[in-house]
Structure 1
Amino acid sequence: MNEAKPIVTCHGNMELFSSLHQLVVNGLPKEPCQWRRSYGRAPRSVHLSASMVPYDADILPDEEEKTLVSRPYFHIYWTDCDMDTYKQTGKDDIAEWQAALKARNIPDWLIVVVTGDDSRVKTKLLQRANVADKVKSDFCGKYTDRCIVLTEPLKLESKSFESWSLFFQRLRSLLLDAFNRHLNKYEEGMRSRREKRNEPGWNYFSYFIVQEELAFMFEMLGLKEDALIQYDELDAMFDQFVENFASGEAVRWLAPLAEPCTNWAGLSLSKPLDLDLRQQVKQNQASLLAFRNYLFSRQTALLFQMGRSWEAAMRAMDYLYNTVVEVKALEIEAPKGAVSCWVILSCLEVLDACNLHNPGQLDERFALYTANLWDYARKKVR
């Protein structure tokens, strides 16, 4: 999941963009930018990156699309045409592109007017500057920041460097605006779902996938701590439901988890995202052990990315102990020794993964928490 990047579509002169593609994707994340979110939350420093893909009207998201990670967030039109070409074909092409965006209520776009390496004649440079003015007049209205000139981008000159700097500043700012717009709407819908958690028909696993999408987005933006918070909230919510169930409260979606245990495979931390296990969770087909394995694997994946293997070992004790308690609370039938086998296998997996992500580092916390895991596994062998 950590390899995912925000999707940006590109249209217009694709041969031109291809010549600049690597410069764009390499330059965008070089400088950090401040992401200021709503609700009084502290700003975050992020290094934005993007996956640039060819524009296709068929992949434009609907306004109501309920995804954060896989949707195209932003749209760029690239042109280096002169005024004559703009009047003959360029204007109509941009108009068609904009019409497709407006039909989906998409306000997140930028038009880039490029002056190429062959623009040595001053009148040609002036012509392209005039094209930019015409584009602003024809398409940008009061949003003149939606058109920017990229001056001789392949030259190693100060004017080119300044032009690139302004381009990246503008693109980062507009990308963050797009993220905020989608995220605010998504979180509003998520809160509405969460508030209905005590209503008949509400399903935790359906909600889990919704909030996990938010975690995926934070992870995509490099905000690992914020992503981890989403999983911790989901963890705490699940704990509360199990406690309520054990106290006699009816929790219908928990019923499938109380089925007899037929698989006690231990935790696997070999990959940061187990898509097969996630699909089971999404379809409400995961057993308690499988669900707990998936949730903890996602938490540890983020901890490892943040260099906190000691915390993964520390959290493992609660994960193992609480899951055993939940097996009893849900009165899950299991063959004798099955749960102990799961504990031992999971302990060994955590220890192996923690050692892999903590090579040769002397850390008292790491030693303490891994020792506790060894001791817990030893007791289960008896």
Structure 2
Amino acid sequence: MKRMKLLKHWYLPSVLTCVVFLSSAFSLFSQADSCRLRISLLTCSPGQELYSSWGHTAIRVTDSATGTDIVYNYGTFDDSDPLFLFNFTKGLMIYALSSYPFSDFVLEYQSQGRGVIEQKLEMNCSEKQKLYSALQINNLQENRFYNYYFHTDNCTSRARDMIVKNTGDSLKFKPIISTPPPSYRNLIHVYLDNSLQYWNKFGIDILLGANLDKKVSNYDAMFLPDYLMKGFDSSSVNNKPFVSESRTVLPITLPAPEKPIFTPFVLFLTIAIAIAFLSMSKAKWLKTSLFFFDLILFLTLGVLGCLLVILWIIRIDDVCRNNYNLLWALPTHLPIAFFVFSKKDWVRRYFRLVFFLTILLAICWWLIPQQFNAALVPILLLIALRAWVRSKN
């Protein structure tokens, strides 16, 4: 009897202790299991195509419990759409969020020779689950499409906003841009210069207006993948680094770009010098040839001016508005070009006005709130020269 009492006295507390221990262990296991998710930012280096010149961003979600390893990519678009080019011109570019295995993502960028850097983000369990759920909801067919705007709402800014929104107020960014702050144009120029895309840079500087010269804030600069990577790398959450680990997934194997034989500045300067020498000649056949050159020159300028006006009007976004290139690419050149052979007074007065307007534009170059491409210098010289000659004939 005494032995039974002792056994009872010893057995029941022991069982209760085991139950409490197992319950605590299960609770800890469940808590650890709730943190099975790993969230990381993927930053891809620039590619060879113009649209990939600034790199790319995606979000990787790894679930160790289910073996899931998915990449969420906001940069998917369908260029086979028959209306793609028309919508692109209007600024109505439909992009979509897509998801696919991380292994496919790696193979895609490996085939392009582009590098990929992964940053593991320091987020608590609830933030990870909240972000994962938000991405899954956003990836539904009715939610995945959005209107893409290059510098305000793109694949990188979408990833940035999704992560920031689901991280909370504890995420703090440090300054990553210089003082005084650069403009959007300054930032995109760096990539075009590094990849020797001087002609693409020239085209962008002509087609996109003064709104691209707006100064960026620290947060705005993160529309570019490299700047978002820098922003996260220097940020903190609850006084701890937001990026707990960084690694190179893929090295850059893309060959260095080849420098073009003629840059816009060199080509137009060569033409301007050649035309200046030819304009001093008294040979009749040369004067006749220069008449045809003027026809082509002012016709081209007129067509370009009309294009800039059309883009200003029809674009849904504002990147083509307030374009001061219209001060030299006058739409009125289009009809006037066909009168370069005329000796009427009104034609001479028109070209005299063009001459003085071009000279004034050159003098006020630094006062205009839009950064002009350097290749415009020889173009303005060429316009002024031929407008002066036409005003005297």
Shared fold by TM > 0.5?
no
Query: Larger helix proportion, structure 1 or 2?
Result: 1
- When Rg is computed on C-alpha atoms for both structures, the one with the higher figure is 2
Q: Which has the higher strand share?
A: 2
Higher relative contact order (CA 8 A, sep 6+): 2
